[in-house]
Structure 1
């Protein structure tokens, strides 16, 4: 869990009380500067500047206002911190939110596709920072469309099948560095949909296909587990949204950690309680034992080969690296281009395996087809 103390430099402590009072909105006439905060109407969330680990780097972020220590749930300029003691968040002429440094250089911008010069920015009690057109009242931009490493109730991951647009979670580089890290959670385009955790371009973990009310690859999502997660298609807009409900807690959040874990935290009044974590064990990792390998949580060696297979590299297995998987002990007797069924000795047959969840690329198929075509699909 990432909890962060916010460091204020000594000169900032001399700011007047009026400067530290929470703003109701940001306009061109009233920008937000270091030492100032923007509060949501009910005082649930707060927007302001923070500096992790006593560094000189200043970031614009959102956190739970009522909780100590502060927990950062969104960062604007995560790729480019302000490195001096002067920064201002204001509205540009075309209606974009822009973060300026002491030299009036643009550090970060929403790049709002709008020509409105009559708008303001405010923070909602959902934790959503929005730019609102003063005339029409429409939302021109929102932070919920530009997620960081945290998903809050009423925000969601998204995939647009028509355009390929994605809304993802991206981990911090470390617990004290909000720049983009190695892990990304996203909805993939398979039918039925799945949620993948990617490490760069390589799958790290996955949910399995969505099966009406649960993900097939998440054992906890059975009849006895009241899942807070939901996946809903928007047929009209061609999008798929993945979100979660807030249950039995005033505050909650889903985070992708810098180590690649997906965690659901709920505040119980005194601290954060871990309500869900994935991967829950090493066998939940994508292709943990490689092709034709079976990961057994109760087995100290973790990986076994299925019947008729042996480790591809015994040396690697002895060193604890089993991702290369297994190969056939003997070659198949049938021809790949033949549909003739041969009966009797030496016949190639399917080996049925029970209580096994697939963690490789062709997992949408049945267990029998999975075993037969695993090599072809390079899982």
Structure 2
């Protein structure tokens, strides 16, 4: 449970900044939170070095930095910017950004330092997450240690820039989740979609590489959080509401767990069991797979560059992690295939950019880790898995067998349909002939004969009357 200490506070219309402490703790932190929701703390300054006495001072030092001093006037935390100004001021913006700027200039270019460059566990609208490639600044989220301790926790969520960019969640050095690599339109395992609440942006150029979302205005606001358990959650607040609700959780199922099916395995959430070995591979430890423990992954006899090797296309997947790889963004998919065949260690290849007709080449060496299948069309991409000639022959035989079965089935249906039609036609023809024969055997009388036989239709010869008229006896 957080409480606020007495003292001065920066207080714009939507957010506040003040020292924060927790029950059962004497530690003091400088935090920013929503004015209407003081329990929602979106940024903490001195996470790694709390004030342990009962006094804290926020001020601007003589050299132009924002500093936090403890009761003995020792510096607990500092903005520590490489830039300085002769006259600087600190300002808390309505966006939640605490900025240090020149007193005579309020433009963003005049910012000497800003809290948005040093996120805590929360990503707010207009906050960049990613890299300034010119300065080397990396903006990432770090979870709290616990719900009541804002010290840096176990989980870090940020953008890896090795090869092609992708978001990665780590617990220490261990990967727990990743979005898949950026393929020019989206991350291969997660879309970048607009919602009624926000519009996302991904920028990648020579100067910057970052993700950001902008608020769509209106009556709702949103925030993105990595919590102390490592869940990536987006919260939304509607106008007039007093409660934040969870709009989405990034990790939706077991297949989002990093490497859930081990090396050379593929996760299929709609299958049971959900893990399978890639074609041509077998479980490394069958007993473990029988117990639904897939962590040991799959293996196969190493490829030896024999003649006849080729590839099997695997569709609608999140591409494997970039562990051992080669990237060339300037060659075609056909050239990429040729490059893969030249190297005995190459295990797979794919387009690096799927925009338009596609371009670029991404080649994997060694194990293929963290592949999952998708059943929808937003995050998928295709990859070509290298196969020995024997596996391709087996695959071709299987395809031929399937083709034979399909052709045989269709042929059988057509023959059966033809025979049925012949039988029906024959029956109808026979009925017609019988009807014609019966009609020919009936006698026909002309009117003169009928008149003579009934005395000119005399009433004395009429013996009755039915639905078709009077009936006469023949004299």
2:21 aligned residue: 51
1:116 aligned residue: 85
1:183 aligned residue: 155
Alignment check: 8 A CA contact 1:264 1:275 kept = yes
C-alpha distance in structure 2 between counterparts of 1:35 and 1:313, whole Å: 63
C-alpha distance in structure 2 between counterparts of 1:141 and 1:161, whole Å: 17
2:229 aligned residue: 259
Structure 2: stretches of 5+ with no match in the other structure: 328-332, 341-345, 349-362, 370-475
Tell me, yes or no, if structure 1 residue 76 matches structure 2 residue 72. no
1:7 aligned residue: 3
Alignment check: 8 A CA contact 2:155 2:171 kept = yes
> Displacement of 1:129 after TM fit?
0.3
Cα deviation digits, residues 36-81 of structure 1 (max 9, x gap): 32112xx1000011123442111110001022x5201000011111
Tell me, yes or no, if structure 1 residue 90 matches structure 2 residue 51. no
C-alpha distance in structure 2 between counterparts of 1:100 and 1:174, whole Å: 25
1:21 aligned residue: none
C-alpha distance in structure 2 between counterparts of 1:58 and 1:223, whole Å: 38
1:101 aligned residue: 70
> Displacement of 1:299 after TM fit?
3.9
2:173 aligned residue: 201
C-alpha distance in structure 2 between counterparts of 1:59 and 1:266, whole Å: 26
Q: 1:93 to 1:226 in 2, by over 3 A?
A: closer
- Between Structure 1 and Structure 2, the one with more helix by share is 2
Alignment check: 8 A CA contact 1:233 1:240 kept = yes
Aligned residue among 193, 196, 201 for 1:230: 201
1:323 aligned residue: 295
C-alpha distance in structure 1 between counterparts of 2:111 and 2:194, whole Å: 39
Cα deviation digits, residues 101-126 of structure 1 (max 9, x gap): 11111111111224435222110001
Tell me, yes or no, if structure 1 residue 351 matches structure 2 residue 322. no
> Displacement of 1:162 after TM fit?
4.7
Instruction: Report the count of equivalent residues.
Output: 334
TM alignment of 1:212-361, pairs within 5 A: 212-218=184-190, 221=192, 228-235=199-206, 238-247=207-216, 249-268=219-238, 269-299=241-271, 301-317=273-289, 320-328=292-300, 331=301, 335-336=304-305, 341-342=307-308, 348-361=309-322
SS at match of 2:315: coil
C-alpha distance in structure 2 between counterparts of 1:6 and 1:377, whole Å: 47
Deviates more, 1:206-215 or 1:358-367: 358-367
Tell me, yes or no, if structure 1 residue 60 matches structure 2 residue 50. no
| TM-score, normalization by structure 2 | 0.63
Cα deviation digits, residues 262-305 of structure 1 (max 9, x gap): 22211122322222321211201222212111112134543222
SS at match of 1:49: strand
Cα deviation digits, residues 324-348 of structure 1 (max 9, x gap): 21112xx25x623x5xx33xxxxx5
Structure showing greater radius of gyration is 2
Structure 1: stretches of 5+ with no match in the other structure: 13-33, 343-347
Deviates more, 1:84-93 or 1:265-274: 265-274
